[in-house]
Chain A
């Protein structure tokens, strides 16, 4: 489903060139559950933004469902994001003036789906996330865990294939953090490809495939280790 080939992303900071992603190769199959860990500044978020088509590579190629994305224009990238990708952010990124329900509904609205067709989709997600009695609340009336559940609802309402979560539990206490992770894992069980960036070793260990990043490279990949350990 995803293939990165020699992907680079560098930032010019002053007269210095920072290689946030340094000739990265990565393949992700449909339905995988990955965690990405590594020290601060190792390029985790940059990788996630790249996979989410929010950022463009400086060099290399990113194949998403057999489509080479590096040459696509903004419009085409937006369409791919809309169709295939859902995001969950550490800081939720909910729109404060909209209710929980409206936040979840937003992607459908932006996609131009008719209100009649939107309602059952949103209802299903709200029920699924046990947010029924919070649906009409504004984000600032919700707890952190509830906000992140709303954000997850918004991420999955378009039924994406890929769910990208950048430190989804970073702002949560351990209990609601665990709930959120369990929810994401349930979604993964249902078939969605899940990639979680985290600093929490316990959460990282839950993933079936663990990536460790250092200095813009993948220092270790549990998938390859298994392969190499078999080989050795």
Chain B
């Protein structure tokens, strides 16, 4: 059974229909990249998948949770779905280690010892083991973003969503975050990522989805999609200076 299953999802903001019938499924261990123009609905789709936005029709199943559920059900779903945004949104009043330990402690109720070992483990995974006691404000953007990733990982999610996590970073800091994600993918994490880094998508993603005007316009194995785009829109998008 797929980890993420999206069927016929429609999403409107007031009168504006942003998602116009999305079908998508992500198998365990798969890395799916979502590309597309600004405003095509990429972020909205990710936000729907962990219930930050409500959908008007369709069905979303994530890691065995339905999305139609109550507030309580939503929280259960979010325990299994990590999401990282373009802005890192670390908790500024907590040190790096505490940032990571908080949700496992409070939400999952794990012991302090267990939370700490999770934090150390995930920090090591993103290459920041030695910054456990640092304040978020004293880290570079790239480091903060990696802490944000570690913070999500400490919940042991079944799938990770990334929404343009490198877009706010200086070019020289992008690499470290992408490397972190690539390592995660190599370790078998199921990932759904919105990105403008075409080379990264082509190399790391098993499948790439091209969204256009609120629809999945074209989708396929990354190599194939980038080498031989079928639709005029994707050709234009890929030719539009990004590659």
Chain A partners chain B: no
